[in-house]
Amino acid sequence: MPSSRVLTLMGSGETAPTMVSTHRRLAARLEPSPGRVRTNVRAAVLDTPYGFQENASELAERAVAYFSESIDVDLDVAGLTRIIGVDDLTVERGLEVLRRSDYIFAGPGSPTYAVEQWRGSAVPGALRSKLEQGGVVVFASAAALTLGVATVPVYEIYKCGHEPFWADGLDLLAGIGIEAAVIPHYDNAEGGHHDTRFCYLGERRLTHMETMLPEGTWVLGIDEHTGLVIDLDAGQAEVTGNGGVTLRVDGESLHHPTGSILDLAILTDRDAVSRTIRGDASTVRATEIADDHASDLATIPASAEQTVESSLADTADRADREFSAAITAGDAATATGVMLELETAIWAWSADTLQSDETDRARQVLRSMVTRLGEAAVAGLADPRAVVAPLVDLLLQLRSDARAEKRFEVSDLIRDRLDETGIEVRDTADGAEWDLRA
C-alpha cells in the first residue's frame, strides 16, 4: 500500500501529547481517510532500544496504548528486545512484523545497546527497505541517536562517567545522503544549574566530541518534543512540535523553529550546511512557513498543530497557579475546570514512556486541589461581607434613623444584636462603619 517514503526523527515526547499531531499526520500519509486508518495502517514498535530493561514489556504496552487511543492505529510489538543469542525463530518472527509494517516506530532506551543488537542482523536492511521502497520510519530519543554515522553513548558518558567518545552508529542516514550524527534531547534543561543540553553532554563535551567526528560529518540536533519529518519523495524536511532543529558544524549552529521547511539538498551537503549557518541564503531555502509546494504532510493541515506543554510537570505547575487564583477569587467554576483539565492531562501523559516522577507529582497537585476545594466548600468561597452586607446596611440605616429620633434604646439594641452575631459596629464622624470579627 505505501508509496510515501518518510523518515522522522523525534527529540523526545514520542508517546506524549506533544507528538500526537505529528504521528497522525504521518499515518494520514499512508491512509488519508481518517475512518480507515486503523484498518489500513500496519504499524509496529521496534522494542530493542529498551530491551535490556526489566520493564520492557510495560514500555511496549504503553506505546501500543498510545497509538491505539491517540493515533487510532493498532501497533504490533516486534518482540526483538534481544537479538544476540536468541533463537532464530523468535528473531525471524520479529523481522516479519517489521517487513509487513508500513509504519515502524522505535523510541527510548540505550542507543549503544540497540546498535549492538542490530548490527549484523537484518534489522537495518528492513529499515532501509522502507526508506527505499515505501513506508514511514519514526525513530525517537535513543533510537534516533543510532541513525547517524556515530552515536552518543549517553549512559556510558552521563551516567557512568566515561571519557567522551563516539560509538559507531547504524549510519542509515548515509543511505539518504546525510552524513551527520543525530543528537535528540538537544535543548534538555533537566540539569538546572549544570549544562545537560545536547542529550546530556553539555557544551564542553560536545565541543570536544565534534573534533572526534569522522571528516565531513556534522551534528543534527533535535529539540525535545520536536520532530524532523524528512519526506524523501518531496526532497524536503519539515520541523514539527514544540521546539526546533539545529544544524551544527564545528561549533557554529543555526536553529530552525517549528514550521520550518528545509530542502533536503541542504542536509545532504556538509558545505551547504556550513554555508547555511553562515547565512549565505543563495545556497538554501529554509522557510518558517511552508509554501504551496510544501510536503503533502499537509494532508492534515499544519494549522492543526497545537503547541502542547512539553511536560506534565509544566501542566501541573500552571494548573496549580490557576487553581489558587480561582480559589482566591472565589471562582468555583474555574477551579473545578482546572482540576478536570489536570486530570485529563494526567491521563493523556500516562502512555508516555519517559520514566520520571512527573505523574506522581501531578497526582499530588490534583489531590491538593481536591483538599482545598473541600475546605472551600465548608468555609465558603464567597466573601461573607458581600453576603451579609445588604442586611447589615439596612439595619444600620434603621439604627441611624432611631438615633436621629433620639430613640437610643432601639439604636443600642441593633448595635448589640449585631455584635452578638460577630459584626462589629464603629461610629465615626462620617457615619457608622462595620466589619466581621475574625
Q: Domain containing 413: what range?
A: 384-436
**What are the tens digits of pLDDT across the range 367-390?**
998 888 888 877 777 677 777 888
* Residue 320 and residue 284 share a domain: no
Question: Where is average pLDDT lowest: 28-42, 64-78, 289-303, 385-399?
Answer: 289-303
CA atoms within 13 A on the CB side of 244: 13
pLDDT computed for residue 57 by the predictor: 97
* Residue 392 and residue 370 share a domain: no
* Residue 29 and residue 111 share a domain: yes
Say which amino acid occupies 330: G
* Residue 337 and residue 220 share a domain: no
Confidence tier at 188 by pLDDT (50, 70, 90) = very high
Angle (CA) 338 340 342, round 5°: 70
Cell 501523559 belongs to 349
* Residue 241 and residue 100 share a domain: yes
* Residue 276 and residue 296 share a domain: yes
Indicate whether 73 pLDDT > 90: yes
* Residue 257 and residue 109 share a domain: yes
Domain boundary among 259, 274, 304: 304
* Residue 316 and residue 298 share a domain: no
* Residue 137 and residue 49 share a domain: yes
- Into how many domains does the chain fold? 3
* Residue 406 and residue 346 share a domain: no
* Residue 395 and residue 294 share a domain: no
Fill in the DSSP letter of residue 261: E
* Residue 395 and residue 267 share a domain: no
What is the b/e burial string over 108-138, where b = at least 16 CB atoms within 10 angstroms of the residue's CB?
bbbbbbbbbbbeebbbbebbeebbeebbbbb
Confidence tier at 293 by pLDDT (50, 70, 90) = very low
- Say which CATH number the domain at 186 has: 3.40.50.880
